[in-house]
Amino acid sequence: MRKVAIIGSGPSGCFTAQGILKARPDWTVDVYDTLPVPYGLVRYGVAADHQGTKAITRQFERIFERQGARFFGNVTLGRDVTLEALRAAYDAVVLATGLSGDRDHGLGRAEGVIGAGQLTRALYDHPDAGRLPDVRGEVIVLGNGNVAVDVLRLLAKTEAELQDSDLGAEASAWLAGRPIDGLTILGRSPAAAARFDPVMIRELGRLQGVSIRVADLPEAGGDKLIEALDGLDGLATGPRPVTFRFGCRPAGIDTDAAGRIRALRVEGPRGPEVLACDTLITAIGFCCDGSLGRDALMAAAEDAEAGRIAAGLYAVGWFRRGPRGTIPENRAESLAVAQRIVEEVEAAPPRAGAGAGILPAGHEVVDWAGWKRLDAHELAAAIAGRCRTKITTRAGMLTLCREKEDAR
């Protein structure tokens, strides 16, 4: 029987497991994750108020509960196990570890300049996130993509609009208490070249406490995004000002005596401008945090387009193609790579590797049953108006994963 290790249990890792097990139900497919919990950015990136998107996890559950994939949580590639050891132990290894660093904005560091990844991880209770940052005053969200829209929407929503999300008590109180004077979403590209999903722009039209202005819009001419943006312009449901700006290239930041940002300088459509800014949230993409030598591995890949790094070593998802693409795009790519893995593994002689037997003795691994215990606990512990209360520390997660039902 052939054995495949998938490192990362986000969408790309799960879809790869699904594809392999659909084609070869008798193979061993082991999915590893550094966290005790599965699903990657579905849990820690997809917006807390988009529970419909997160429902993809029901499909992922079936991979472990019906298709036979095994979950090995709390196992970090590069710390608990090496890539070399995995490659010797399995017929194929798939890198699906995503990209967790915020892309550098080149504007320099200052108090009040925050990456969208840093902010969303803190809001969504990622165990490795820092504290919730000090977001206040005039807030500019820099970026022309859907992550920027997510950040804007969450900061603009009233408490009542966050009903049924999976925000924790601390994040909910933090959002409710932000002393925000105004929100501006600002991008380099003109409106027609922005990468916002028109559906997400239309969703902003349902916000209850905002007054929206969209500057520098061209004629729609049938363009769905421009039509959606045009539909927002002038919306007035409450006091919080929200402004869309396009065609503004950031040129630098000014700070106050305490080192906190106070202005963003831009080259706007009508020349240089200085925009008051007490908080700058950059949502301009993600990058490798330097671990796993991702950039070198992908640069040396035999066929990076098809996800093949070398014989028996593959890459999928954001790890392979960079921080682009939604969950459905990962599905299409991962299923294609899964197909290739099946063909290439079958064409090669079987490896007598030890599979998961290579894990260091005594290392605490979270299996699927352990995750389900934690999942049940988090659902049961949901506070009023929320669908889940996440456990925020690895130690806390491990304790609950360990706890048998009858021991409670």
Report the interface residues with ligand FAD, using CB under 6 A.
Answer: 7-13, 32-35, 40-41, 45-47, 50, 53, 76-78, 96-98, 120, 147, 150, 291-292, 317-319, 325-327, 330
The distance of closest approach from Cβ of residue 258 to ligand FAD in the complex, given in angstroms and rounded to an integer, is: 29
* Burial class of residue 129 in the structure, from the number of CB atoms within 10 Å of its CB (0-12 exposed, 13-18 middle, 19+ buried): middle
Tokens of 199: 């559906």
Q: Please give the DSSP secondary-structure letter assigned to residue 88.
A: H
Nearer to ligand FAD, 266 or 374 (CB): 374
- In the sheet with 313-315, reading across from the earlier edge strand, the strands are 70-73, 28-33, 3-7, 92-95, 313-315, 308-310
Enumerate the H helices of 137-223 as residue ranges.
Answer: 146-156, 169-176, 198-204
**How open is the CA angle 123-105-115, to the nearest 5 degrees?**
5
Nearer to ligand FAD, 147 or 342 (CB): 147
Nearer to ligand FAD, 266 or 316 (CB): 316
The distance of closest approach from Cβ of residue 247 to ligand FAD in the complex, given in angstroms and rounded to an integer, is: 24
180-186 and 240-245: which strand pairing?
parallel
SS3 label, residue 13: helix
The distance of closest approach from Cβ of residue 272 to ligand FAD in the complex, given in angstroms and rounded to an integer, is: 31
Nearer to ligand FAD, 104 or 181 (CB): 104
The distance of closest approach from Cβ of residue 251 to ligand FAD in the complex, given in angstroms and rounded to an integer, is: 26
Nearer to ligand FAD, 82 or 208 (CB): 82
Neighbours of 326 (CB within 10 A): 12
Nearer to ligand FAD, 98 or 187 (CB): 98
Cα distances (angstroms) measured from residue 208 to each of 31, 52, 236: 42, 20, 8
Task: Report whether 67 contacts 213 (CB < 8 A).
Answer: no
Nearer to ligand FAD, 78 or 234 (CB): 78
Q: Please give the DSSP secondary-structure letter assigned to residue 360.
A: P
Question: Given CA atoms 116, 285, 265, 183 in this order, what sign does their dihedral have?
Answer: negative
Cα distances (angstroms) measured from residue 193 to each of 189, 204, 223: 6, 19, 11
The distance of closest approach from Cβ of residue 137 to ligand FAD in the complex, given in angstroms and rounded to an integer, is: 23
Q: What b/e string do you get for 27-57 counting C-beta neighbours within 10 Å, with b at 16 or more?
A: bbbbbbbbbbbbbbbbbbbbbbbeeeebebb
The distance of closest approach from Cβ of residue 76 to ligand FAD in the complex, given in angstroms and rounded to an integer, is: 4
The distance of closest approach from Cβ of residue 350 to ligand FAD in the complex, given in angstroms and rounded to an integer, is: 25
Nearer to ligand FAD, 101 or 241 (CB): 101
What angle do helix axes 11-23 and 327-347 make, rounded to 10 degrees?
40
The distance of closest approach from Cβ of residue 291 to ligand FAD in the complex, given in angstroms and rounded to an integer, is: 6
Nearer to ligand FAD, 147 or 398 (CB): 147
Task: Report whether 103 contacts 324 (CB < 8 A).
Answer: no
Nearer to ligand FAD, 20 or 266 (CB): 20
Nearer to ligand FAD, 13 or 137 (CB): 13
The distance of closest approach from Cβ of residue 78 to ligand FAD in the complex, given in angstroms and rounded to an integer, is: 5
The distance of closest approach from Cβ of residue 43 to ligand FAD in the complex, given in angstroms and rounded to an integer, is: 8
Question: What DSSP string describes 232-297?
Answer: HTT-BSSSEEEEEE-S-EEEEEEE-TTSBEEEEEEEETTEEEEEE-SEEEE-S-EE--SGGGHHHH
The distance of closest approach from Cβ of residue 66 to ligand FAD in the complex, given in angstroms and rounded to an integer, is: 21
Phi first, then psi, for residue 30 (nearest 5°) are -105, 125
- In the sheet with 261-268, reading across from the earlier edge strand, the strands are 249-255, 261-268, 271-276
